[in-house]
Amino acid sequence: MPNIKKILIANRGEIALRVMRTAREMGIKTVAIYSEADRKALHVRYADEAFCVGPPPSKESYLRMDAIIDVAEQAGADAIHPGYGFLSENAAFAAKVAKAGLIFIGPSPASIEVMGSKLAAKEAVSHYNIPMVPGIQTAITDIPKAKKQAAEVGYPILIKASAGGGGKGMRIVNEESEFEEQMQRAISEAESAFGDGAVFIEKYITSPRHIEVQVLGDQHGNAIHLFERECSIQRRHQKVIEEAPSSVYGEEKRKAIGEAAVRVAKACDYYGAGTVEFIVDENLDFFFLEMNTRLQVEHPVTEQITGIDLVRQQILVAEGKPLEIKQEDLKIHGHSLEVRVYAEDPANSFLPDIGKLVTYVRPQGLGVRVDDGFEEGMDIPIYYDPMIAK
């Protein structure tokens, strides 16, 4: 089994620093990459070596797969950690890394690909007894037939454009008398927005919660879950506050959702750290939504309640070692809450903002953890995510 001696972190900011801290604790050397805008960034100063990969825009720097792999080879790194965002869920990048003879600290390209498509993911997990949102997952334009299907699913239902996105071609129908009118509207909206009028039908979940489960698998077929995180507080479809564990789940539901998440991981032979997302209805029943094949922004809340370093586990799994933790060893210690801190202008609809960080004081004290990538006096660049800290 290979022992990783030097890791290139294909990312920036707080997640790059987060990965480097664990690598340093494990005695592993680190290589940073940076764009011209990040020349003075903390992750560049913290790493053992740092290389510029291009101008500020991401596509000219942090998204340049071949340039990043070239730097890894030049620096003598034997592995690449993608962090989250950028290339972390890019199956082509994972394949290129492996082809270059380097270790990708993450799942296989095949797992990334399957879970990257919502319909392929649903198909993959459908054989593993995973609860799904009730509905008809095939496209339809025939109104009488669709009406019959809607009655089978049970109202309220959601009509969704098959080719859709951004809420277009989507209609909530509360009762049968509204169905035909809403179906026609959804079809015409889908036709004008996407040139495709096909829609599908699923149960509409009222007052939904968003609960996700942290999973960990190795390359020997073992998989465990590290309990759930509550991520229902969102704005513009972005999570802003996350906590672990969820305050609505008792022991029985917690065990059930955790076991379902492990089955999802097994459905795609998953290894490494991943997150299975569920939508939860008012009866607290859960339904599979999707899987994120990477470390999440909110992974620290899970680390806080379990005492497990997820980055360390990712590295050990990438080295081919079997999981050192068993499900029965894991216990929840206390409760953890994560708040994201953004550079935004409250006077302008809380849109991302830039400029000098004039005052920046980190909170300190027992039980407080701050993951960040900035310090006082630094400039917030325009090119990247506006999150300063969490």
Please work out, in degrees rounded to the nearest 5, the angle formed at the alpha carbon of residue 216 by the alpha carbons of 215 and 218. Answer: 150
Given a contact cutoff of 8 angstroms between Cβ atoms, the answer to whether 77 and 102 are in contact is yes
| Among 339, 358, 384, residue at a domain's last position | 339
- Classify residue 369: in a domain, yes or no: no
Question: In sequence order, what are the beta bridge partners of 238?
Answer: 235
Residue 116 CA to residue 286 CA, distance in Å, equals 21
Cβ-contact 16, 83 below 8 angstroms:
yes
CATH number, domain at 157?
3.30.1490.20
User: What one-letter code names the amino acid at 114?
Assistant: V
| Same structural domain, 224 and 187 | no
In a domain, 123, yes or no: no
- The pTM is what? 0.89
Tens of pLDDT, residue by residue over 219-238, are 999 999 999 999 999 887 78
Span 73-87, mean pLDDT?
A: 97
Residue type, 332: I
**What CATH number does residue 46 fall under?**
3.40.50.20
Do 253 and 313 lie in one domain? The reply is yes
Structural domains counted in the chain: 3
Within a domain: 287:
yes
Tokens at 43, concatenated: 């992750």
Angle of helix 109-116 relative to helix 118-125, nearest 10 degrees?
Answer: 110
CA–CA gap between residue 35 and residue 233 (Å, rounded) = 33
Is residue 160, in this structure, part of any structural domain at all?
yes
Query: Dihedral, CA atoms, 86, 92, 96, 99, nearest 10 degrees?
Result: 150
Could you tell me if 253 and 159 lie in one domain?
A: no
Query: Is the predicted pLDDT of residue 167 greater than 70, yes or no?
Result: no
Q: How high is the mean pLDDT of the chain? A: 93
**Residues catalogued as catalytic:** 294
Q: In what order do the strands lie in the sheet with 79-81?
A: 49-54, 29-35, 6-9, 79-81, 103-104
* 219: amino acid identity, one letter: Q
Could you tell me if 74 and 148 lie in one domain? no
39 shares its domain with 94: yes
d(CA 302, CA 299): 5
Is residue 62 included in any domain, yes or no?
A: yes
Q: What is the DSSP letter of 372?
A: B
Whether residues 27 and 66 share a domain: the answer is yes
The angle at the Cα of 240, spanning 158 to 261, to the nearest 5 degrees, equals: 60
> In this structure, is residue 184 part of a structural domain?
yes
Q: Which residue has the higher pLDDT, 129 or 330?
A: 330
Burial environment of residue 134 by CB neighbours within 10 A (0 to 12, 13 to 18, 19 or more)? middle
Average pLDDT over residues 134-147: 82
Q: Judge if 189 and 230 occupy the same domain.
A: no
| Spatial contact of 94 and 112, defined as CB atoms under 8 Å apart | yes
Q: Which of 169-173, 247-251, 295-299 has the lowest mean pLDDT?
A: 169-173
Last residue of a domain, one of 146, 172, 203: 203
Rounded CA separation 376/331 (Å): 38
Q: Are residues 263 and 227 in the same domain?
A: yes
Same domain, 292 and 334: yes
pLDDT at 94 over 90: yes
In a domain, 19, yes or no: yes
pLDDT at 165: 60
pLDDT at position 364 is: 95
pLDDT category at 140 given cuts 50, 70, 90 is: confident
Q: Rounded distance, CA 139 to CA 35, Å?
A: 44
List, for residues 206-218, the tens digit of each pLDDT value: 889 999 999 999 9
Mean pLDDT of 70-92: 97
Q: How far apart are CA 161 and CA 146, in angstroms?
A: 13
Tell me the residue range of the domain where 90 lies. Answer: 6-106
In angstroms, the CA 326 to CA 57 distance is 43
Q: Which two tokens stand for residue 308?
A: 């497990």
Domain-ending residue, one of 304, 322, 339: 339
Specify the pLDDT at position 169: 77
Q: Which residue has the higher pLDDT, 386 or 302?
A: 302
Task: Tell whether 100 and 20 lie within a shared domain.
Answer: yes
Tokens of 386: 């506006």
Is the per-residue pLDDT at 166 higher than 70? no
Contact, 289 vs 214, CB < 8 A? Answer: no
Q: Looking at 200-204, 213-217, 258-262, 376-380, which range is the least confident one? A: 200-204
Same domain, 165 and 224: no
> Is the pLDDT reported for residue 381 higher than 70?
yes
Query: Residues 6 or more apart from 361 whose CB is under 8 A from it?
Result: 376
Residue 313 has pLDDT above 90, yes or no: yes
pLDDT the model gives residue 206: 82
Sheet containing 286-292: order of strands? 286-292, 272-280, 209-217, 223-235, 238-244, 336-339
Do 172 and 157 lie in a common domain? yes
Tell me the three state secondary structure of residue 8.
strand
First to last CA, the chain: 35
